[in-house]
Amino acid sequence: MRHLPRDIWLRENARARANRQRRIVEILSGGGFIRGDDLARALSVSKRTVYRDVEEMKDVGEPIGGAAGLGYALMPRRRRQRPMTEASHVNG
């Protein structure tokens, strides 16, 4: 059995994770809640891998919510409000 050099393995692992995370967003975009075990089955990974991916995605701002017994759902993105500047306050 041949092992990949560490740098290649890390790059391939990161690519696989990014592809999984894109797929998670695609699946959740269908609406409603999707259980972790259903996501795991669709992605051919463990529930733990799904959990880690979702947590990482949430940490970087992906609007994914979850509810015990229901699963994960893509939440509406919040619009960032522009800070009110003195000029915008005075003019309008």
Q: What is the CATH number of the domain that holds 43?
A: 1.10.10.10
d(CA 3, CA 73): 37
Instruction: Examine residue 90 and state whether it is found in any structural domain, yes or no.
Output: no
Instruction: Examine residue 82 and state whether it is found in any structural domain, yes or no.
Output: no
pLDDT given for residue 7 in this prediction: 85
Average pLDDT along the chain, 92 residues, taken 10 residues at a time:
76 90 95 95 96 95 92 81 56 53
Range of the domain at 63: 8-76
Instruction: Examine residue 2 and state whether it is found in any structural domain, yes or no.
Output: no
pLDDT given for residue 85 in this prediction: 61
Instruction: Examine residue 87 and state whether it is found in any structural domain, yes or no.
Output: no
How many domains does the chain divide into?
1
